[in-house]
Chain A
Amino acid sequence: MKQSRYFAVVYMFVLTAVLSSMLIGLERLTRRQVKTNEQIAFERAVLAVFPQIEIKSAAEIHPVFTRDFVLSDSGAYEYRPSGQLAGYVLPFEGPGFWAPIKGVVGIGMDQKTMTGIRFYEQAETPGLGARIVEPFFYEQFAEKSLTEGSRPVRIRPPSEAGGNDISAITGATQTCVRLEKLLNEAVVQWRVKLQEQGK
């Protein structure tokens, strides 16, 4: 063990190199899978906001998405089944209570009525904030309209929620407050862009 100091350095170097190259190899192998997962989650959410779209198997998602949806300059996707404009899908994202919340909201031809909403990425508290992905919550958005002004969507406590309001989830006030904020920001921004383009 005379050259132990050099040996230690070489040893660390070799070990690090061997382990790192194994990791890089594994990551490269799975990278495409990760990308596909993200893309499919997003596309699945987009298709789900229009109740009229029926998807029979997961294999259909990507073809239907690429056929019927076009990204427009306003930041929203235009839903064009058979070429005719039939609605918009506005993606939104922002900080939730724990980690970012990402989702898409479907908006009808009138640019006012929501057709549905889905969240494809979130990590809110299980049993509380994470319930935004449950039907009882997201189904409320369908058919509600986006009001004028800076607060097009209102998420309010169930006891105070009016006809056009969304009932918040009890115990998940923070998630709901943040969700409302980031959703409204996205809608307001979209409106500004639409106006600029004179649509």
Chain B
Amino acid sequence: MNGQTVTKPAKQIILDGLWYDNAIFRQILGICSTLAVTNNVLNTLVMCISLSLVTALSGMTVSALRNWTPRSVRMMVQTLIIAFFVIIVDILLRAYWPEMSRNLGPYVGLIITNCIVMGRCEAFAGTNRPWPSFLDGLFSGLGYSVVLLAIAAFRELLGMGTILGFAMPYFSTHWDKWIIMVMPPGGFFVLAMVLWLCRSVEIKRKS
């Protein structure tokens, strides 16, 4: 395993991350840590950026260390590296954006147990060079972010009539706000709809 590198063109890595292996509607992975904050686009955006960066940077680090890491402690090393980057994000948020840090509550820390991060480190970074690992992590994270941001936009618009806190025409004035969208059940319903849509498209494409 050590030293072997599987070459995969950058374009393929990007497409896989965004669609073909999309973590959410392909594998239903890693929704826990972010779904809870999708009732607000800004919170989701910050979570998604953090997650993408953590995935990319831990992928890169795991990959850079792959030739020295003994196999027996592989998982521990990965967890340690992921936790390292998550703590950096947490410290920076607390120091420079305290309100956001409070809004996200425990969810920043939960990036550690997000299956996507660990999954990319294990499946890709362990056998690839640092730069492709970085790309792979970044675009897996972005594929995930696109889906969650769509969910968040939908929930915030229908539930509060705003997007990123800005009042939207029609929705902020004439729309009878669907409070349920801001509450937890809304998250489940919208995610289910997104899954349904993406999977139906995929089934069509295959047949």
Residues of A within 8 A of B (CB): 1, 4-5, 7-8, 11-12, 15-16, 19, 22-23, 26-27, 30, 33-34, 37-38, 41, 98-99, 121-123, 125-128, 170-171
B197 within 8 A of A: no
Q: Which listed residue, B81, B84, B103, touches A123 by the CB 8 Å rule?
A: B103
| B: number of interface residues (CB 8 Å) | 31
Which residues of B from 34 to 66 have beta carbons under 8 Å from A? 39-40, 43, 65
Instruction: Let me know if B68 and A30 touch, CB within 8 A.
Output: no
Q: Which listed residue, A7, A19, A127, touches B80 by the CB 8 Å rule?
A: A19
Complex: A169 Cα to B72 Cα, angstroms: 55
Instruction: Let me know if B182 and A128 touch, CB within 8 A.
Output: yes
Instruction: Let me know if A4 and B72 touch, CB within 8 A.
Output: yes
Instruction: Let me know if A30 and B94 touch, CB within 8 A.
Output: yes
Instruction: Let me know if A127 and B69 touch, CB within 8 A.
Output: no
B168 within 8 A of A: no
Complex: A38 Cα to B95 Cα, angstroms: 10
Main secondary structure of the interface of B (DSSP, over half): helix
Instruction: Let me know if A128 and B70 touch, CB within 8 A.
Output: no
Given A12-B77, A23-B91, A123-B105; A33-B84 close (CB under 8 Å)? no
Chain B residues within 8 Å of A27, by CB = 91
Q: Which listed residue, B77, B98, B159, touches A15 by the CB 8 Å rule?
A: B77
Q: Which listed residue, A11, A23, A37, touches B69 by the CB 8 Å rule?
A: A11
Complex: A99 Cα to B107 Cα, angstroms: 13
Instruction: Let me know if A121 and B102 touch, CB within 8 A.
Output: yes
In the complex formed, the residue of A with least CB distance to B70 is: A8
Instruction: Let me know if B84 and A19 touch, CB within 8 A.
Output: yes
Chain B residues within 8 Å of A7, by CB = 70
**Given contact pairs A7-B70, A37-B98, a sample of 12 additional A-B residue pairs in the complex whose CB atoms are under 8 Å apart:** A4-B70, A4-B72, A11-B73, A12-B76, A16-B80, A23-B91, A33-B95, A122-B102, A123-B105, A126-B43, A127-B159, A128-B179
In the complex formed, the residue of A with least CB distance to B160 is: A127
Chain A residues within 8 Å of B39, by CB = 125-127
Complex: A127 Cα to B103 Cα, angstroms: 12
Instruction: Let me know if B95 and A19 touch, CB within 8 A.
Output: no
Residues of B within 8 A of A (CB): 39-40, 43, 65, 68-70, 72-73, 76-77, 80-81, 84, 87-88, 91-92, 94-96, 98, 102-103, 105, 156, 159-160, 179, 182-183
Given A8-B70, A15-B77; A23-B179 close (CB under 8 Å)? no
Chain A residues within 8 Å of B94, by CB = 30, 34
Chain A residues within 8 Å of B91, by CB = 23, 26-27, 30
Q: Which listed residue, B43, B73, B105, B182, touches A12 by the CB 8 Å rule?
A: B73
In the complex formed, the residue of A with least CB distance to B42 is: A126
Complex: A33 Cα to B80 Cα, angstroms: 26
Task: Give min CB distance, B104 to chain A, whole Å.
Answer: 8
Instruction: Let me know if B70 and A11 touch, CB within 8 A.
Output: yes
Instruction: Let me know if A34 and B98 touch, CB within 8 A.
Output: yes
Chain B residues within 8 Å of A4, by CB = 70, 72
Instruction: Let me know if A38 and B73 touch, CB within 8 A.
Output: no
